[in-house]
Amino acid sequence: MQHARSQELFQRARQLLPGGVNSPVRAFGSVGGEPFFVERADGAFLYDVDGNRYIDYVGSWGPMIAGHNHPAVRQAVKQALGNGLSFGAPCAAEVTMAETLTRLVPSCEMVRMVNSGTEATLSAIRLARGATGRSRIVKFEGNYHGHGDSFLVKAGSGALTFGVPNSPGVPKALADLTLTLPYNDFDAATALFDEAGDDIAALIIEPVAGNANCLLPRDGFLQHLRELCTRHGTVLIFDEVMTGFRVALGGAQARYGVTPDLSTFGKIIGAGMPVGAYGGRRDLMSQISPAGPVYQAGTLSGNPVAMAAGLALLDVIQEPGFHDRLEAHGNALCDGLEAAARDAGVPFTTSRVGAMFGLFFTDAPKVDTYAQAVACDTAAFARFFHAMLDRGVFLAPSAFEAGFVSAAHDQQTLEATLVAAREAFALVRA
Q: Is there a contact between 70 and 423 (Cβ–Cβ < 8 Å)?
A: no
Among 175, 202, 214, 242, binds ligand PLP (CB under 6 A): 242
Q: Could you tell me which stretch among 4-12, 205-213, 216-224, 389-397 binds ligand PLP (CB under 6 A)? A: 205-213
Read off the DSSP letter of residue 387. Answer: H
Q: Does the protein bind ligand PLP through residue 211 (CB under 6 A)?
A: yes
Whole-number minimum distance, CB 274 to ligand PLP, in Å? Answer: 7
Q: Does the protein bind ligand PLP through residue 117 (CB under 6 A)?
A: yes
Q: Does the protein bind ligand PLP through residue 270 (CB under 6 A)?
A: no
Q: Does the protein bind ligand PLP through residue 145 (CB under 6 A)?
A: yes
Q: Is there a contact between 345 and 134 (Cβ–Cβ < 8 Å)?
A: no
Query: How many whole angstroms separate alpha carbon 113 and alpha carbon 111?
Result: 7
Q: Does the protein bind ligand PLP through residue 61 (CB under 6 A)?
A: yes
Query: How many whole angstroms separate alpha carbon 77 and alpha carbon 71?
Result: 10
Query: How many whole angstroms separate alpha carbon 428 and alpha carbon 382?
Result: 9
Among 35, 197, 266, 272, binds ligand PLP (CB under 6 A): 266
Whole-number minimum distance, CB 206 to ligand PLP, in Å? Answer: 5
Q: Does the protein bind ligand PLP through residue 48 (CB under 6 A)?
A: no
Q: Does the protein bind ligand PLP through residue 277 (CB under 6 A)?
A: no
According to CB under 6 A, which residues from 353 to 412 bind ligand PLP?
none
CB-based contacts of 327: which residues, under 8 Å, 6+ apart?
Answer: 352, 353, 354, 355
Whole-number minimum distance, CB 267 to ligand PLP, in Å? Answer: 7
Among 94, 185, 239, 261, binds ligand PLP (CB under 6 A): 239
Instruction: Give the residue among 123, 97, 67, 105 at the shortest CA–CA distance from 281.
Output: 105
Q: Bin 247: left if φ > 0, else alpha if -120 < ψ < 50, else beta.
A: alpha
Catalytic positions are: 144, 239, 267
Question: Residue 359 is inside which H or E element, if any?
Answer: strand 356-360
> Which residues contribute to the site for ligand PLP (CB under 6 A)?
61, 116-118, 121, 144-146, 206, 210-211, 239, 241-242, 266, 276
